[in-house]
Amino acid sequence: MKQGYFITGTDTGVGKTLISCALLHAFAKSGKSVAGMKPVVAGCEQSQRGLIYGDVEALLAASTVAVPRNFANPYALMEPIAPHIAAQRAGTRLDLAQMASAYRELQQSAELVIVEGAGGFKVPLTDEEDTADLAQRLGLPIIMVVGMRLGCLNHALLTAQAIQSKGLQLVGWVANRIDPAMAVFDENVLALEKRLPAPLLGIVPHCPSPDARMIASLLRISLLPDPVFSGTSQVVNIETFATGGWVDS
């Protein structure tokens, strides 16, 4: 059965790409063929190969099947600003139907597709539509990345409410410790566990050089509502990760 998940976040810069890649590695390890998708990316980087889109490169590298770039990333915008504004300035209109068509093409190549949204759940994509409308059009279960920092409780609970208002299911969330100095971290995680209508899939510690393959071992995909992954969850000692820092978009 073809499957997919839509990855959203409580804000931009909370680690959606990192967690999306970790999920790709985790599902690949379970035996599935996987493909990553970023329907819209805004902001390119300079490299020795020229201009590249880092998020898209990471998702392609974590996929187990080779797919055309225009399916994995239908829209690539130069400026690192809100997608609908970047599209307007580039003379482009973002078409949700085209994004959905690209997703269906990816479904033909992989057993599971991880779709990473842009920014937070309600980021505008056109004058009338936003990322929530794209998620609704795809009809995928949602995994939310919570950037653990001051204010995350409100952001996480409002995002969960917005997901529900679209008739979509939040099936899991990941606590990504983007602020190593966050006060009462454990208490904040517990507060979200009590209030969010979905299981905590994993706690990602603050690391100097995050590695998606290593982080994959922290994610308990067995908690997702799929009988294929109904086995025993893997237990990992997160203290093996060094304390450091990253911010991932």
Catalytic residues: 38
Rg (CA), the chain: 17
Give which of 218, 188, 196 is closest to 143, Cα–Cα.
Answer: 196
Tokens linked to 236: 């990992």
Question: Residue 115: how many CB atoms within 10 A of its CB?
Answer: 26
Q: Which two tokens stand for residue 81?
A: 């600003």
> Residue 240 contacts by C-beta under 8 Å, 6 or more apart in sequence?
none
Residue 143 is encoded by which pair of tokens? 């995994």
Smallest CA-to-CA distance from 51 within 62, 61, 43, 40 is with 43
